[in-house]
Amino acid sequence: MREKKLRNIFVNGAIPADTIAESIRKHHTKTDIGAHSIFLGQVRADEIGDQQVAGINYTAYEDLALEKMYEIREAIFAKYPLTCMHIHHSLGMIAAGEICLFVFTSSKHRKAAMEACDELVERIKAELPIWGQEILTDDSHQWKENK
Amino acid sequence: MREKKLRNIFVNGAIPADTIAESIRKHHTKTDIGAHSIFLGQVRADEIGDQQVAGINYTAYEDLALEKMYEIREAIFAKYPLTCMHIHHSLGMIAAGEICLFVFTSSKHRKAAMEACDELVERIKAELPIWGQEILTDDSHQWKENK
Amino acid sequence: MNIKILLFGRLTELLGQNVLHLEDMADTDSLSRFLSVQYPGLAQINYQIAVNQEIIHGNRLLTDGMTVALMPPFSGG
Amino acid sequence: MNIKILLFGRLTELLGQNVLHLEDMADTDSLSRFLSVQYPGLAQINYQIAVNQEIIHGNRLLTDGMTVALMPPFSGG
C-alpha cells in the first residue's frame, strides 16, 4: 500500500508575489509541461454599511482540512493528466489587497491544467474547513460566507 | 468617439517569473479585485523522432496581431465583468522550459476572471497571426501547429 | 468518559471558547441538544459535525476520548 | 503599381524571403495564381490572406501601394 502523505497547504499570513514567482521558476526544469494555470484569491475591501473590510482573519480545522485536501488532490490527479499541483492557503490576518489563496496546476496541454485549477478552487471553497472573519475598518467584524 | 488604443503584447525573449510577480504585486492596491486567473504557456521539449525540441522561435505579423488583440480585448471586456486584463507573448527564441505566453485576468468574483482567461487563451491561439518554429537539438526545425 | 469538542468560526464567539470538554454524552444528537439548551443561539446556526476528523451525517455514538468538531459553513479561499 | 507581399511562417522558407514586391496584380486571386506558378509548393499550403492588415475572404481588388500578407495556420501560445 502506498503511504498516505499529507502535505501542508497552510501558510501564516499573506502569500507574497515572490513565492508565486519562485514556484513558477521551479517548473522551468520540467520540460514536459506546456501549460500552467494559476488562481489567486485576493482579499477585497468590500463596503459593509459605512465601513470597509480592512482584512480577513482566517482560521481552519487544520487536521481535517489536510485530510480533505489529500482526498481532493487524489481525485483531481485521477481525473486530469496533470504534471504538478500546488495549493497554498493563508491563515491569520490578511489585509485587503493581499493574496490568501494560491492554486497552481501544470500539464502537457492546456485543458487539463485549466479545468483542474477551476475544479480545485471550487472544491477548496466548498469542502475545506476554513473560516474567514472579515475585520472592518472600525475593528468590528463579521463572518464571511462563501456564495 | 473613444480613441482606439493598441497595446503592445509582444516581448522579446522569454517571460521571466519576476515579470509575473511584478504584475501580481501591482494589483495589491486594487482592493476591488477578489480573484486573479493566470495562464502561462511553457515551451515543451517534445520528442520529434530521435530529436528533441530545444526551443521555439516565434515570429508574428505584429501590426495585425495588435489590431486583432484590440478586438479580442474589447469583446472580452464586454462579455465579462473584469477589472484588469494583461497579455504578453514572446517573440524570438524561447528555450524549452521557459514561458512564452502570459495571460492575466482579474475580477471581483472568480468566475469572470477564470472564464475570461480561458477564452482569451483559446482566442489568442486561434486568431493571432503568430508562428512558432520548433528548433530541434540537431539544429533542424519544423513549424509548430496548434491543435 | 471525556469528549473533546472543537469549535470553529462563529461558534467560538457564541460559546466564548475554542474547546469544550464534556462528560457523559451518549451520542452526537445528545451533544447537540445539550449545547442548544446551554447556548440558545446555537439553534439558529447551521453546522456540520466531525467525529475524530471525519464528517458525519446523522447520529453517531460517542465513546471516551473522542473528538467532536462543530463546523459552521466554510468560507475559505 | 506596386504591391507589397508579406510572408510569414513556413512561407518565408518556401519563397526564400520575408517580403516580395510585385507589379500589375489586379486582385488577390491573380496574385495567388501567379505565386503558385512561381513556387509550386505553395499549392499544398493552406494560408489566409490579409490586405492592408485586414483578413479577407474571397477575392479582393488590389490597387497601388497595398500590402498583402500571406499567412499559414497560426501557432502562437
ipTM: 0.95
Summarize pLDDT for B22-73 with one digit per residue, the tens.
Answer: 999 999 999 999 999 999 999 999 999 999 999 999 999 999 999 999 999 9
Provide the grid cell at B120.
482569451
Q: CB distance B34–A22 less than 8 Å?
A: no
A85, B46, B134, A34: CA torsion to nearest 10: -10
Can you tell me the distance from the alpha carbon of A105 to that of B60, in angstroms, rounded to the nearest whole number? 28
In a domain, C77, yes or no: no
Q: Are strands C3-7 and C67-71 parallel, antiparallel or unpaired?
A: parallel
Q: Are strands B82-95 and D67-71 parallel, antiparallel or unpaired?
A: unpaired
Summarize pLDDT for C59-75 with one digit per residue, the tens.
Answer: 999 999 999 999 999 99
Domain of residue C28, residue span: 2-71
Provide the grid cell at A117.
485549477
- Tell whether C8 is within 8 A of chain A (Cβ): yes
In a domain, C18, yes or no: yes
Summarize pLDDT for C11-31 with one digit per residue, the tens.
Answer: 999 999 999 999 989 999 999
Distance, C-alpha B96 to centroid of its chain: 16
Domain count for chain C, please give it: 1
Can you tell me the distance from the alpha carbon of C76 to that of A55, in angstroms, rounded to the nearest whole number? 13
In a domain, D23, yes or no: yes
In a domain, C12, yes or no: yes
So what's the pLDDT on residue B2?
64
Average pLDDT of span A4-17: 95
In a domain, C50, yes or no: yes
So what's the pLDDT on residue D37?
96
- Alpha-carbon distances, residue D39 vs A73, B79, B110, C40, D29 (angstroms): 55, 44, 51, 87, 15
Can you tell me the distance from the alpha carbon of A135 to that of B109, in angstroms, rounded to the nearest whole number? 19
- Listed in sequence order, the DSSP H helices in chain A are 17-25, 62-79, 110-127
In a domain, C40, yes or no: yes
Q: Tell me if A134 sits within 8 A of A146, measured CB to CB.
A: no
Top residue of A131, A133, A144, A147 to mutate, by most chain C CBs within 10 Å, is: A131
CATH number reported for the structural domain that contains residue D30 in this entry? 3.10.20.30
A-C interface (Cβ pairs under 8 Å ≥ 3) = yes
In a domain, D11, yes or no: yes
So what's the pLDDT on residue A145?
84
So what's the pLDDT on residue A5?
86
Rg value, chain D, Cα: 12
In a domain, C10, yes or no: yes
Pick the CATH number of B10-143 from 3.90.1150.10, 3.40.1190.10, 3.90.1170.40, 3.60.21.10: 3.90.1170.40
State residue B102 phi and psi, 5-degree precision: -135, 110
Closest-CA distance, A2 to chain B, in angstroms, reads 30
